[in-house]
């Protein structure tokens, strides 16, 4: 059995940098997709407000969803503004500097993920309800009161789809990167 090779400081920094960049790329892909989704929600709801102006129940429901999204968008921008890609330069070769940077980024990502999970539990039912309301508006032959079972089934269908999508998104974009970052931090603490 050969003894493990010691890495130079430069090789260690390159190894950590490549691992962190890979995880950051997954998070930034989420950032772009989420930004597009938010833009799409605002555009669609604004369109429906204009199109169905005068139907105050529907206009209020669309406006309520816009109001619900505003805090998420504000927090989204604030949190990701602080999620800067780590910069490793020659003066940052000390393991304490790398460890501090990784720990800070881990904490910020974990905070955003906690916020996102809370928001999802508000957002998913509201979006499911709005989808049912929109489908009802386009198929006004059945009123909500006349066919509550069918509309409830549609609501549960979209609610379930959103839950499944969010579960896999969180697992891929947040849980996996957080676990890997935590592993790197733990490894640095054990070896440092």
Q: How confident is the model at residue 8 (pLDDT cuts 50, 70, 90)?
A: low
Q: What is the pLDDT of residue 72?
A: 78
Q: Please, which contacts does 185-189 make with residues 24 or more away whose CB atoms are closer than 8 Å?
A: 185/99, 185/102, 185/103, 185/106, 188/95, 188/98, 188/99, 188/102, 189/99
Note the pLDDT tens digit of each residue in 112-142: 888 888 888 888 887 888 788 777 777 666 6
CA distance 137 to 58: 9
As given in the structure block, the two tokens for residue 123 are 């957002």
Note the pLDDT tens digit of each residue in 41-82: 899 889 989 988 998 888 898 898 888 778 878 877 777 776
């Amino acid at each position: 059995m050969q003894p493990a090779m010691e890495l130079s400081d430069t090789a260690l920094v390159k190894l950590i940098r490549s691992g962190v960049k890979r995880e950051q790329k997954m998070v930034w892909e989420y950032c772009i997709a989420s930004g597009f989704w938010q833009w799409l929600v605002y555009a669609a709801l604004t369109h429906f407000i204009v199109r169905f102006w005068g139907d105050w129940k529907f206009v209020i429901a669309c406006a309520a969803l816009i109001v619900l999204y505003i805090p998420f968008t504000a927090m989204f921008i604030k949190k990701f503004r602080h999620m800067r890609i780590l910069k490793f330069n020659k003066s940052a070769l000390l393991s304490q500097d790398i460890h501090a940077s990784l720990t800070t980024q881990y904490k910020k990502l974990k905070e955003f993920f906690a916020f996102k999970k809370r928001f999802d539990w508000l957002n998913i039912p509201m979006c499911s309800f709005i989808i049912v309301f929109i489908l009802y508006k386009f198929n006004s032959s059945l009123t909500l009161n006349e066919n509550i079972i069918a509309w409830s089934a549609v609501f549960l269908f979209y609610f379930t789809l959103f839950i499944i999508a969010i579960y896999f998104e969180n697992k891929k974009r947040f849980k996996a990167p957080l676990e890997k970052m935590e592993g790197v931090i733990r490894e640095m603490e054990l070896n440092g």
